[in-house]
Structure 1
Amino acid sequence: MTIGIGLLGLGTVGAGVAEILTSPGGRHPLVAELELRRIAVRDPNRPRPVALPPELLSTDPEEVVNDPSVEIVVEVMGGLEPARSLILAAIAAGKSVVTANKAVIARHGEEIADAAARQGVYVLIEAAVGGGIPIIEPLKQSLGGNRIQRVSGIINGTTNYILSRMTDEGAAYTEVLAEAQKLGYAEADPAADVGGHDAADKIAILAGLAYGGSVERSLIPTVGISDLQARDVSYASQLGYRVKLLAVAQHLGTAADGSECLDVRVHPTLVPSDHPLAVVNGVNNAILVEGDPVGRVMFYGPGAGAGPTASAVVADILNIAGIRQMGGTGGGLDPLLAASRWRRCSLVETSRTSHRNYVRLQTSDQAGVIGRIGSCFGHEDVSIQSIVQLEASGGQAEIVVITHEVEEARFQAALAAIQALSGVQSVAACLRTL
C-alpha cells in the first residue's frame, strides 16, 4: 500500500529526504512504498541536486498540507513561522507529521503534542536533535526503564568545529568562524550556533524526554562561544582540559511544590582530556546519558548535514508507515512531550546550582596577590583545586584558578571580593569545568 508524502521545504535536508525516497533500491523495502505527492518550495525554477517532476512543486505550503493524497507531512523548512502553523494545520487535517525543527518543538512542543493527542496522529522528531544520531527514540523507549540522572553533550557541530580548531591550532575565534562559513559549517548569520541558542533548543527537548515534563525554553541559562578567547583555550590545554560547548540537563530531586527540579544550561566548559566528550571533535556531536541502572551510555556521530538529518527524517517516516501497514490508526501519541503527561518539571535558580569553575584573573605582578585571592575564596568556603600564575610581564600577571564544586552563590560572592582587591585588575574569564 503506497503512502503519500508531502514535503515542506526542499533545502539541504529536504533534498536529502527526496533523494532517499526517489531511490529506494538497496534500502528497507518499505521505502519503496513511500511516494512524494507534493513539495513546497520557494523557487520552483531553482537548480536542485535531485531531479523531480515539476508538477510536484508548489510555492504554496498550504497546498501540501491540504492535498488529500498526502498522508504524512514532513516539515523541514525551519524557522518558527509558518512552520508551527503548518504543523498544527496538518495535525488538524488528521495527518501525522515528521519534523526536524528544533526551534518549533522547543518552544511549542506541548501545544503540538496536545493537538496530536486530540487528533490521534503521530508527530515524530528524531531529526530535531543530533542529526543522524538516534537519541530521541532511545530516550523514549530503550532507556525508558531508567531513572535518568544527567544528559549532557556536544549538540552543535558548528561550535564544536570552531573549538576543535582553536584547541588544535591555537587559532583565534574570528579566524576559525570565517573559515567555517566558507566551508559551509557555519551560517552567514551564525548567531544561533555561536550564541548557544541552537544547543539550548535541543537540550530543552532532551530534558523534556528524559525527565517527563516540558522545560520552559526561555528560562534556560545560555552562554555561547563568541566571547571565548584563544588564551583560555590554550590555558585549558596546558592544564589537561579541552573546551567544549556543553548542553546539560541534570536531575536535582523533587522540589517543595512536587515538581522535578532540574538544572538545564548551555555554556563553554573545560572537559578533562580523559573524559569521553573531550575526544569528540570537528562537526561531530555526542550525547552522554547517565541513568540507573544502565550507567553511562554515549551516542556519537554526525550531528548535522543533508545525509545524517535526512536519514533521521526518513527513519521517522518509516516508523509511521510501519504502524499504518500493521493496521495502526494513530492515537499513540509519540512526540517529544508524551512524557509531559506524567511529570511536572521546574528549573532551579542559577544561584543554587553547584559547579566546578575556571577563572582567569589579570593582576599586578606583586608578592601576596595569590594569597589574598586564596583568602577570598576561603572566606566563602570555595575549595581550590589549583591556582597558578601562567604569565607575567611588564608588572602584569595572569592567574588561573580552578575550583572544586561549589554553590554558584558562594562562588560569585568570592569573585566580588576578589574584584575589590587592590592588586586585581579584572576577572578576564570565567568558565565552568567538569
Structure 2
Amino acid sequence: MRTRPLKVALLGCGVVGSEVARIMTTHADDLAARIGAPVELAGVAVRRPDKVRGGIAPELITTDATALVKRGDIDVVVEVIGGIEPARTLITTAFEHGASVVSANKALLAQDGAGLYEAAARHGKDLYYEAAVAGAIPLIRPLRESLAGDKINRVMGIVNGTTNFILDKMDSTGAGYQEALDEATALGYAEADPTADVEGFDAAAKAAILAGIAFHTRVRLDDVYREGMTEVTAADFASAKRMGCTIKLLAICERAADGASVTARVHPAMIPLSHPLASVREAYNAVFVEAEAAGRLMFYGPGAGGAPTASAVLGDVVAVCRNRLNEATGPGESAYAQLPVSSMGEVVTRYHISLDVADKPGVLAQVATVFAEHGVSIDTVRQQGKDGEASLVVVTHRAPDAALSGTVEALRKLDTVRGVASIMRVEGE
C-alpha cells in the first residue's frame, strides 16, 4: 500500500458534509484498504467557522473555499454546498489546480453538466456525482457503466422523498395535501419552504441528469417538462383507487417509439397498484429502468438524508482515488447520440379527466363529441349526479399530450361543463 495519503478537500459541512467527514474518520482503515492508500481530510470549507463540528480538527476549518481548492496538493474535492455559484467556479478551479471532483449538486449538473464535463476532460480529471440523483441508491454508475453496452428505452422513478411521503400519507390515511405536508414538515422530511420539492424542481433536475446518461444526449433542466403536485386532492386518490391505482410524482425519461428523439418530464401520475413503483412508501426513492437486453430493473432505497447520501459520496471518493493511483480517469460525458428533446405535446400517454357538469340529458354526448373532434379516444366514463349537478370522470386511451390540451380547452368552453376539476396522466401500464 502507498504510504502517502490521498488528500480530500470538503466544500460544505452541513447534513451531508458532516457525515462524509465522520465516515472518512471512523472508517479510515477500511477506506485505505479498499483504495490502496490512506485517504486524509485535508480541509473543510464552511460559511460559519464558529459552529461546533464534532470529530473535525479545528485547524481543518476554513472560510476560504477558493484557497482550499487552489492548494495544488488536493487529490479530490468533494462539493456538497449546492446551488450554482460559487459551486461551479470552485469545481472548475479544482480541475485547473489538479484535483478531481465528487459532487452531489443536482441543480448545477442539470444546468451546466456539459460545461463541467468539458472542464474535467480538458484537465484530465474525474467528475463523479452518484449522490446527485437518488441518495444512497446506486444508479448513476449502473446507468453509465453496467448498462453501457445496452440500449435504455425508459427511466421512470420516484426521485424525491418529500413528495413521496406526502402522497403516501394522502393515500394511506385519506389526509388532504396541506395536512400531509404539515406532517412531513414536522418530521423533518419537508423544508420550511418546500417549493423545490412539491413543485417538482428537484425531481426535474434529477430527470435531466438521468435522461442525459440514459440516452447519451445532452439534456438540460430547461428541456424537462414539470408539473408540481400541490393540486392533487383526496378526490383524485379516491378516483385512483376505483381504477386500482395510486398516485406518485414521477420523473419519466423515454425514447420516442421510433428512437429518433427523447423526452423528460416530471408530474403526478396514476400508476396501477401492480406496478413496482406503487409500493414505494414514505420517503423512499425507486427508479424503474427498461433496457433492450437487460429488460426491467428497479433500484430502490433511501433517496436522501445525511448518512445515505454520504454513502454515495464516499463510493465516488473511493472510485476517484483508485483512478488517481492508477493515473487514469473514469467515464466522462457520453453525448454522442445528440438526440433532439421533444416537447411535452408529443408525449403519448393515457389521461384521467374529472369534469363538473350539469346533470341533464345530452351532456355526455357533448363531451364525447369534443374528445372525438380532437382525436382522443375514450376508454371508460363514470358519471354521478345529484340536485342538477354531476361529476363526469373520463379515462382515455393513449393520445398525444397536445391533443389532450386541445380537448380540455374545448371542454372548458361548453356551457354544460362547470369546470375541469382534475387532469392526471395514467402511467406504468
TM-score for both structures, normalised by structure 2:
0.94
Equivalent position of 2:344 in the other structure: 350
SS of residue paired to 2:379: strand
Equivalent position of 2:399 in the other structure: 406
Of stretches 391-400 and 168-177 in structure 1, the one that deviates more from structure 2 is: 391-400
Equivalent position of 1:385 in the other structure: 379
Equivalent position of 2:419 in the other structure: 426
Q: Distance in 1 between matches of 2:314 and 2:83?
A: 20
- Deviation per residue, 1:91-111 (Å, 9 max, x gap): 111210000000000111000
Q: Percent identity?
A: 41
Equivalent position of 2:185 in the other structure: 181
Q: Distance in 1 between matches of 2:55 and 2:295?
A: 47
Q: Distance in 2 between matches of 1:409 and 1:203?
A: 21
- Deviation per residue, 1:263-289 (Å, 9 max, x gap): 211100000111111111111111111
Q: For residue 149 of structure 1, what is the amino acid of its counterpart? A: N
Change over 3 Å in CA distance of 1:366–1:121 after alignment to 2: same
Of stretches 123-132 and 399-408 in structure 1, the one that deviates more from structure 2 is: 399-408
SS of residue paired to 2:50: coil
Change over 3 Å in CA distance of 1:159–1:385 after alignment to 2: same
Do structure 1's residue 41 and structure 2's residue 46 form an aligned pair?
yes
- Deviation per residue, 1:301-330 (Å, 9 max, x gap): 1111111110000000000112223x2244
Equivalent position of 2:261 in the other structure: 261
For structure 2, which runs of at least 5 residues remain unmatched after alignment? none
Q: What is the CA-CA distance between 1:366 and the residue it aligns to?
A: 1.9
Q: What is the CA-CA distance between 1:27 and the residue it aligns to?
A: 3.9
Q: Distance in 2 between matches of 1:46 and 1:10?
A: 10
Equivalent position of 1:138 in the other structure: 142
Of stretches 291-300 and 214-223 in structure 1, the one that deviates more from structure 2 is: 214-223
Do structure 1's residue 234 and structure 2's residue 238 form an aligned pair?
yes
Q: Distance in 2 between matches of 1:39 and 1:413?
A: 54
Equivalent position of 1:317 in the other structure: 317
Equivalent position of 1:15 in the other structure: 18
For structure 1, which runs of at least 5 residues remain unmatched after alignment? none
RMSD: 1.7
Equivalent position of 2:291 in the other structure: 291
Change over 3 Å in CA distance of 1:27–1:371 after alignment to 2: farther
Q: What is the CA-CA distance between 1:25 and the residue it aligns to?
A: 6.3
SS of residue paired to 2:256: strand
- How many residue pairs get aligned? The number is 422
CA contact (8 A) 2:225 2:266 kept: yes
Q: What is the CA-CA distance between 1:216 and the residue it aligns to?
A: 2.6
SS of residue paired to 2:83: coil
SS of residue paired to 1:214: coil
Listed as ranges, the matches of 1:90-109 within 5 Å are 90-109=94-113
- Deviation per residue, 1:384-413 (Å, 9 max, x gap): 221112x54442221111111012232223
Q: Distance in 1 between matches of 2:295 and 2:216?
A: 19
Q: For residue 46 of structure 1, what is the amino acid of its counterpart? A: K
Runs of 4+ in 1 over 6 A off after TM superposition: none
SS of residue paired to 1:269: strand
Equivalent position of 2:327 in the other structure: 328
Q: What is the CA-CA distance between 1:370 and the residue it aligns to?
A: 2.1
Of stretches 400-409 and 108-117 in structure 1, the one that deviates more from structure 2 is: 400-409
Q: What is the CA-CA distance between 1:11 and the residue it aligns to?
A: 0.3
Q: For residue 372 of structure 1, what is the amino acid of its counterpart? A: Q
Q: Distance in 2 between matches of 1:93 and 1:254?
A: 45
SS of residue paired to 1:120: coil
CA contact (8 A) 2:164 2:284 kept: yes
